[in-house]
Amino acid sequence: MDTYWMEFAGMLVRWLHVIAGIAWIGSSFYFIWLDNSLDPPAPGSDNAKKGVGGELWAVHGGGFYNPQKYAVAPASLPEKLHWFKWEAYTTWLSGTALLVMVYWLRAGAMMVDPNVAPLTAVQAVLIGAASMIGSWFAYDLLCRSPLGRHNAWLGFVVFVLGIALTWGLTLWLGGRAAYIHVGSCIGTIMAGNVFFVIIPGQKRMVTAMRAGKLPDPRDGQRAKQRSVHNNYFTLPVLFIMVSNHSAATYAHPHNWAVLALIGTAGVLIRHFFNLRHKGKLRWEYPLAGAALLVFTAWWTAPRVQALPPVQGEVTFNRVREIVGQRCVSCHSPAPTFPGITVPQGGVLLHTPSDILQNAQRTYQQVIVTRIMPLGNATLMTEEERAVIAAWVKAGAKVEP
């Protein structure tokens, strides 16, 4: 029963994370679009005189809207002022809670891969936590350094360091855990931008105006820079958060490079839309992104490794014995493998009918991607993989 409540709580936290993420990313997309779509007011117009830097007219849901952006700030502020921060905070808090529930509390099964590095569960968690904290401080220091005044170079350096982080994590953690922690690092940077830079800067601007002083324009400039960074982070981090469904990427021998290619494609596609909002059609960016994705699809296409010849007759009972010894501890209604509380991926392999029903899926995960058994924690041999492969290729049948 305790397991049930933990899994149900995980479902609710995951749901909250998705809802909050949609709200946060949606507001990011909207405001970047809004900022890039504003037209300056006519010189000498009332809007120009009162400090409006840009405006637009829009229609949505049967209503007409006229958003305006001030070059620095209006002459006075209304009592009611909308803030956009809780979407970011809720996304990060729920995402971190999910990270703890799914990965950190089950680090021995979900993070440690003996074929990658001989870590303990505690060591794996410490690496994951350190990567999140260290990423924020490294990124923030870069933005505050003289390099922060050169957006193109800053973006390039952050991108290179992101690839280095991905490569480093794949040297210590299992592929799936490495990917999700890269996503958590990016998410921490994004939330840190809101919590430590954007909102404090906006609060200082509001406080200055309430006191009848002119706001410091540097606060607005810094907030805009970090907001744009968050916008470019969105597509890569969204892929990472669903990457556990794509074993061909995180289980690839060069999984760090695969993620770098997909992340680059995401940035290029996002850049196309940001330029499009400004009225610039630069098709080379989405075409380059598409080319990277096509190349990645070709590069990660399944290439079955050579298996040793099978000794003896390949029977269903022989396959069932292997599955019972190497797979059922995770793929049964009540898993017995430490840290696993529900059958992984919802796949059951404890009965003959379950084994038959999931034969092709087993072949894909055990023979093609080789991500199962997870971290090969149950020590499946190459000979056993060969038996399963031969059985599936022969039609995956139960002998009469």
Cβ-proximal residues to 372 (8 Å cutoff; 6+ apart), any chain: 327, 362, 365, 366
* Cα 29–chain centre separation: 17
pLDDT for 1: 46
Would you write out the chain's pLDDT as a tens digit for each of its 400 residues? 466 788 889 899 999 999 999 999 999 999 999 999 999 999 989 888 888 999 999 999 999 999 999 887 888 888 888 899 999 999 999 999 999 999 999 999 899 998 899 999 999 999 999 999 999 999 999 999 999 999 999 999 999 999 999 999 999 999 999 999 999 999 999 999 999 999 999 999 999 988 888 889 899 999 999 999 999 999 999 999 999 888 889 989 999 999 999 999 999 999 999 999 999 999 999 999 999 999 999 999 877 788 899 988 999 999 999 999 999 998 988 888 877 777 877 888 989 899 999 999 999 888 888 888 887 888 899 999 999 999 999 998 887 5
Pairing of strands 68-70, 52-55: antiparallel
The string of DSSP letters for 22-58 reads HHHHHHHHHHHHHHHH-BPPPTTSHHHHTTEEEE--E
The per-residue pLDDT for 302 is 79
Cα–Cα distance, 322 to 382 (Å, whole number): 12
Spatial distance between the Cα atoms of 78 and 83, rounded to a whole number of angstroms: 13
Phi and psi for 60 in degrees, rounded to 5? -160, 135
Q: Quick one: pLDDT at residue 80?
A: 87
- Token pair listed for 60: 């949505």
Rounded to whole angstroms, the Cα distance separating 207 from 329 reads: 59
Amino acid 191: pLDDT:
97
DSSP secondary structure of 256-315: HHHHHHHHHHHHHHHHHHHHHHTT---THHHHHHHHHHHHHHHHTS--PPP-PPPPS---
Q: How far is CA 137 from CA 188, 273, 395, in A?
A: 10, 29, 55
Helix (H, G, I), strand (E, B) or coil at 370: coil
Q: How much is the pLDDT for 2? A: 64
Query: Residue 215 carries which DSSP code?
Result: P
**Whole-number pLDDT of residue 149:** 95
pLDDT at 190: 98
Spatial separation of the C-alpha atoms in residues 59 and 51, rounded to whole Å: 24
H-assigned helices in the chain: 2-37, 46-49, 86-102, 107-110, 121-144, 151-170, 175-192, 199-210, 217-242, 247-250, 255-277, 284-299, 316-326, 352-357, 359-363, 382-393
3-class DSSP state for residue 369?
A: coil
Specify the pLDDT at position 20. Answer: 97
Q: Which residues contact 147 (CB under 8 A, 6 or more apart)?
A: 153, 154, 157
